[in-house]
C-alpha cells in the first residue's frame, strides 16, 4: 500500500509525506486477500480473464499537513495466466494550500514466475511507472516520470498468510533521489468474512536531505458478499519522519472461469 507518493510537494514542504506506498493489487476469493489496504504488496496476480476495480481514499498526515488521494480508482486485468495489467487514476488533495486535482497516474504489470507449493513460496515482480499527470506546481505530482521495481514473495499456512519483499525506487526529479523500500505482513482469516493483518514497512529517504520512515500498520478486509469487500487500514511511523496514514476502500471483482 503504496500509498501516496506526493514527491513534488516533498520538494517544497519537508513536512508533507515522502511516500505512502499505495495501490497495488487486490485478489479476493476463498484464498487470503493481499495487497491493499496495506503498503506491502504480494506476488499473486489477478486470475486469467478476471478483473478487479475498487474505489478508495488514502491519507498521510505529517506535521499538521495532510496529503490525500480522494477519490482514487484502480483497475486490474488478468491479461494472461500469471500476469496482470494495473492502472490507477487518483484524485489528490493537499491541505497545506487547499489544492485539489488529478494526481500522478500509475501503470504497472505484475508477473508471477514461481508458483507456490507445499514447501515453496510463490514469487513475483511488480514494476510500476508513475506518470506525471498531477500538477507539480500545486504539489499534486512529481513533475517527472519515476518508477518502483519490487520483488514480492508469499506463503500460506491454513488461515495464515505471510508476504513481503523489497524493491528499488528510481526518481531523478529535482530534489528527489533513488531509494530502497521493504515491507513484510502477517494476516489471518478470522471468519469467513473477516481477515485481519499487521505489517512493518520501511522507506529510505526519497528526498535530498530527507529522513527514512518505518511504519507499523494494522487493518484488513470484510467480505460484504462474494465479490464485494470493504478494506481498511491505519498506521503510524515508529522511527524517522512522523506520519499517520490510513486507507478506506471498496473492492469488486468479476470474470470468467
**What's the CA gap between 27 and 87, in Å, rounded?**
15
Domain ranges of the chain: 7-255
| The dihedral formed by the CA atoms of 244, 162, 44 and 236, expressed in degrees to the nearest 10 | 0
pLDDT at 12: 38
pLDDT at 121: 98
Q: What is the pTM of this model?
A: 0.85
Average pLDDT over residues 196-213: 94
pLDDT at 227: 94
* Residue labelled with grid coordinates 474505489: 55
Average pLDDT over residues 23-36: 37
Q: Report pLDDT digits (tens) over 150-184.
A: 999 999 999 999 999 999 999 999 999 999 999 99
pLDDT at 64: 80
Whether the predicted pLDDT of 30 surpasses 80: no
**What's the CA gap between 164 and 74, in Å, rounded?**
21
Percent of the chain residues past pLDDT 90, beyond the cut: 82
> C-alpha cell of 59?
491519507
- Mean pLDDT of the residues in the chain: 87
pLDDT at 26: 24
Domain covering 7-255 assigned CATH 3.30.460.10 in the classification = no
pLDDT at 79: 97
> By the 8 A CB rule, do 194 and 222 touch?
yes
pLDDT at 178: 97
> C-alpha cell of 67?
496529503
**What's the CA gap between 246 and 67, in Å, rounded?**
11
Amino acid at each position: 500500500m503504496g500509498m501516496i507518493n506526493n514527491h513534488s510537494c516533498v520538494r517544497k514542504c519537508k513536512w508533507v509525506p515522502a511516500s505512502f506506498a499505495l495501490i497495488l493489487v487486490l485478489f479476493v476469493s476463498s484464498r487470503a486477500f493481499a495487497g491493499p489496504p496495506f503498503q506491502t504488496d504480494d506476488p499473486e496476480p489477478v486470475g486469467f480473464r478476471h478483473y478487479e476495480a475498487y474505489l478508495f481514499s488514502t491519507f498521510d498526515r505529517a506535521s499538521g499537513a495532510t496529503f490525500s488521494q480522494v477519490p482514487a480508482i484502480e483497475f486490474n486485468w488478468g491479461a494472461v495466466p500469471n500476469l496482470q495489467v494495473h492502472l490507477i487514476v487518483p484524485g489528490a488533495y493537499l491541505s497545506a494550500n487547499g489544492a485539489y486535482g488529478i494526481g500522478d497516474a500509475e501503470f504497472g504489470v505484475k508477473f508471477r514466475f514461481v508458483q507456490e507449493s507445499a514447501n515453496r513460496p510463490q514469487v513475483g515482480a511488480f514494476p510500476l511507472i508513475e506518470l506525471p499527470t498531477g500538477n507539480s506546481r500545486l504539489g499534486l505530482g512529481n513533475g517527472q516520470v519515476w518508477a518502483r521495481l519490487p520483488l514480492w514473495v508469499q506463503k500460506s499456512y491454513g488461515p495464515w498468510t505471510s508476504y513481503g519483499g523489497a524493491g528499488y525506487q528510481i526518481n531523478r526529479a529535482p530534489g528527489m533521489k533513488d531509494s530502497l523500500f521493504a515491507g513484510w505482513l502477517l494476516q489471518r482469516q478470522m471468519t469467513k468474512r473477516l481477515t485481519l493483518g499487521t505489517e512493518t514497512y520501511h522507506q529510505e529517504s526519497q528526498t535530498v536531505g530527507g529522513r527514512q520512515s518505518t511504519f507499523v500498520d494494522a487493518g484488513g478486509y470484510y467480505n460484504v458478499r462474494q465479490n464485494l469487500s470493504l478494506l481498511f487500514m491505519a498506521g503510524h511511523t515508529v522511527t524517522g519522519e512522523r506520519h499517520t496514514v490510513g486507507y478506506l476502500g471498496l473492492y469488486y471483482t468479476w470474470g470468467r472461469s
